[in-house]
Amino acid sequence: MKIVAVRSYLKNMALTKPYTIAYSTFTDVRLAFLEIELENGMIGYGSGSPAEEVVGETTETTLLNLQTEFVSNFVGRDIRHFQQIIFESNLQFSHLPGTQAAIDIALHDAFGKYLGISIVDFYGQKVNALATSVTIGIKNVQETLEEAADYKKLGFRILKVKTGLNVEEDIERVLQLRSTYGTDFKIRVDANQGYNLNELKTFINATKQQGLELIEQPLAVGLEQELLLLEESDRTLLTADESLKDATAALQLAINKPFGIYNIKLMKCGGIVGAKEIGTIAQHGNIDLFWGCNDESIISITAALHVAYSCPNTKYIDLDGSLDLAEDLVRGGFEIKDGFMNINKRPGFGFDII
């Protein structure tokens, strides 16, 4: 089955509400989209939403890459060779994971639709539906408690709290969440590289009795070895995010294990193929997987769900990125019930164009 057309474009999408993390505040997001049409009329959809501050690629760069002659030359290729096309694309767009991800996801979607099989079934589903966390940006204590109350009404039971600007305020927010809601929520925190080692120690010691599930990327990239000064029991909670961009980093971090958990984002590692490579390395290193996202379309969030559920060492998901969008290109793909994310098992990624 031949590819007959390739189309790409940008869409600027407002967020339902602004949010703040350790190094920025966001009010909207610009996403790159790719369509790959087959001769039977089926279309595979991909999306790129790289975080420039993490991987050095903007969505504008993603679009320019998707409009190159290299991508135009997908026309005439056989979709059954989609893995070879992904391999060639990753060589062509080395260190450009947003571009790689858009191509990877669109090709997977087109191939799944052509074959009549969901991508999770193509790889084999290893874990059942998991509950996603929802994210609370850096806010004062009262605003944090109010947003948690809103999420509780919506049925969510796992919070990921952004931290990293003031460790004492971060501690107070966690303590007040636990005091107010008891065991109603599981709590994760994400410092986005905002702490130094002493601040991290202070945070860990002050929250040790609060049952935190994990602490994501507490120190700046490049300071990973400082984490080895912590007790091994504390390091099992630490999650590599910005430090973990690809399989090479996954392999390096598996040697001394400064982190007990790997956060995989398709927009860091270049899509499903790169994610599977990291997942396999982590599996052999007895490292759990935590699947995250940027502000993204349902297209790439659903793709992340499919690959997450195909990895046996997946333990956590934080795939709420499309919930922040006031609009999207597609609908469906997954359903959230009581916080659990269920995929529909239709061909490809199973979403519908709006």
Q: Which amino acid is located at 97 in the chain?
A: P
The predicted pLDDT at position 49 comes to: 96
**Chain centroid to CA 187:** 18
Q: Is the pLDDT of residue 5 over 80?
A: yes
pLDDT, one tens digit per residue, over 299-312 is 999 999 999 999 99
Ranges 219-223, 277-281, 325-329: which has the least confidence: 325-329
By CB atoms closer than 10 A (0-12, 13-18, 19+), residue 352 is exposed
Task: Report the C-alpha gap between 116 and 25 in whole angstroms.
Answer: 41
Candidates 20, 53, 292, 321; CA nearest to 165 is 20
pLDDT of residue 26: 74
Q: Report which of residues 282 and 324 the model is more confident about.
A: 282
Residue with structure tokens 């996801």?
A: 105
Q: What's the confidence (pLDDT) of residue 154? A: 94
pTM, rounded to two decimals: 0.95
- Residues 243-266 have pLDDT tens digits of 999 999 999 999 999 999 999 999
pLDDT on residue 16 = 86
Predicted local distance difference test score (pLDDT) of residue 140: 96
Percent of the chain with pLDDT over 90: 95
Select from 309, 289, 337 the least CA-distant residue to 131: 337
User: Can you give the pLDDT at residue 282?
Assistant: 98
Sign for the CA dihedral angle at 119, 121, 127, 128 comes to: positive
Q: Locate tokens 């999770």: which residue?
A: 120
Using the 8-state DSSP alphabet, how is residue 70 labeled?
H
| H-only helix segments in the chain | 52-55, 59-66, 69-72, 82-92, 97-115, 119-123, 141-153, 167-181, 197-207, 232-235, 247-256, 266-269, 272-284, 298-309
Domains in the chain: boundaries: 3-116, 121-353
Spatial CB neighbours of 36, under 8 Å, sequence gap ≥ 6: 3, 5, 6, 43, 44, 45, 46, 74, 79, 106, 107, 109, 110
Task: Assess if CATH 3.20.20.120 describes domain 121-353.
Answer: yes
- Calculate mean pLDDT across residues 288-296: 96
Token reading at 279: 């997942």
Per-residue model confidence as pLDDT tens digits over 11-54 = 998 888 776 666 567 778 899 999 999 999 999 999 999 999 99
For all residues of the chain together, what is the average pLDDT?
96
Which superfamily is assigned to 3-116 in CATH? Enolase-like, N-terminal domain (3.30.390.10)
How far apart are the C-alpha atoms of 145 and 352, rounded to whole Å? 35
* Dihedral pair phi/psi, residue 202, rounded to 5°: -60, -45
Do 15 and 28 contact (CB within 8 A), yes or no? yes
Q: Is the pLDDT of residue 320 over 70?
A: yes
